[in-house]
Homo-oligomer: A and B are copies of this chain.
Amino acid sequence: MALLRLTEQIQGEYHYTIGPYSPPVLTANPGDTVVVETLDALGGKIEDERTRPSRALKSFRANPVNGPILVRGAEPGDALAVRIVSIKPRGPQPRGTTCLLPFFGGLTGTVRSPTLQEPLPELVRKVEVTEEEVVWSDRLRFPYQPFIGTIGTSPELDSINSLTPDSHGGNMDLPDVRPGNTLYLPVRAAGARLFLGDCHATQGDGELCGVAVEFPTETTIRLDLVKNWPLQWPRLESEDFIMSVGSARPLEDAARIAFRDLIAWLEEGYGFERLEAYLVLTQVARVRLANMVDPNYTVGASISKAYLAG
């Protein structure tokens, strides 16, 4: 059970698409821990509040991700268990960035839901991020609640933009992918081929304007395999609950996917009958709206482990 490091230098070129075609940067054994130097979602290109984001970013060049990391023995039909151990900020202050990008976000027309209206003004906010808090302004400080925004395994044939969440994971922007929790991802290509990046120091439900407090990190994960556990969609486990994660448009379909998968999990893993699971979730499920801004929207549906005992 080794401790491996995936530094910026080892990574070299970061990726903007998640698929089977890029050469691996690291190979791990199940049980190994990997420390990953992630870039912020804007590739560090927004250096101050006078920067105009649309000029700093070339099109389709957001969300650089590390990887692919190969896991020995991972074969299609297995699940990759990624335990998030810790997420530490790195780089000089102010190391947190949020901004308004033209025609991107939850309260604007977008390229996929276009209107004839003028875009909102561009705008950058740089903020200090420590392991305790995000210093938003003189008046406002937010607790440091870091998580991995983009994390996924390779599809079999397709290569999916790192901005898009789908059944392989990807840009889910799900705050529950945080230290202490374990994310399960489907293995669809030999070695799983894990990509990750786009960490957020804090994010509200829905990631309203499309850009959370983005920051570069040293993210530590522990990798394990669950053999012969074919997953249709990502699943997640915390100390307190189990969660299925769906990504789709419109948003209700993301929720349907998450709930349908959670029912399947309750059947296979916890002895529930299908319709009993349906009725129980009606009474006690919790829903996390992860994002309503990416090419697919993401929802997590969960149930407390208190209702799974016995």
* A residues in contact (CB < 8 Å) with B: 16-17, 19, 21, 60, 98, 100, 105-109, 111-121, 123, 125, 134, 136, 139-140, 142, 156-161, 202-213, 232, 248-253, 255-257, 259-260, 263, 274-275, 278-287, 289, 292, 297, 299, 301, 307, 310
Contacts and interface: CB of A to CB of B under 8 A. Distances in A.
Contact of A205 (B16, B202, B285): B285
A213 B280 CA distance: 10
A19 B20 CA distance: 12
B282 A98 contact: yes
A257 to B, nearest CB: 6
24 contacts: A17-B157, A17-B158, A21-B159, A98-B279, A98-B282, A98-B283, A105-B278, A107-B114, A112-B257, A113-B256, A116-B263, A120-B275, A139-B310, A140-B307, A158-B161, A202-B283, A202-B284, A203-B282, A203-B283, A204-B286, A208-B278, A249-B249, A250-B250, A250-B251
A37 to B, nearest CB: 22
Given A140-B280, A289-B287, A157 B204 contact: no
Copies per assembly:
4
A116 to B, nearest CB: 5
Contact of A208 (B21, B158, B160, B285): B285
Contacts of A203: 282-283
A213 B257 CA distance: 24
Contacts of A113: 248, 253, 256
Contacts of A139: 310
A307 B140 CA distance: 7
Contacts of A207: 282
A202 B283 CA distance: 6
Q: Which of A157, A208, A257, A286 has the most CB of B within 10 A?
A: A208
Contacts of A120: 116-117, 275
Given A158-B160, A292-B255, A116 B282 contact: no
Given A106-B255, A116-B278, A117-B118, 14 more contacts: A98-B279, A100-B275, A100-B278, A107-B116, A107-B260, A114-B256, A114-B257, A117-B117, A158-B160, A206-B285, A206-B301, A209-B279, A249-B249, A250-B250
Contact of A282 (B160, B208, B255, B283): B208
A251 B248 contact: no
A274 B116 CA distance: 8
A166 to B, nearest CB: 9
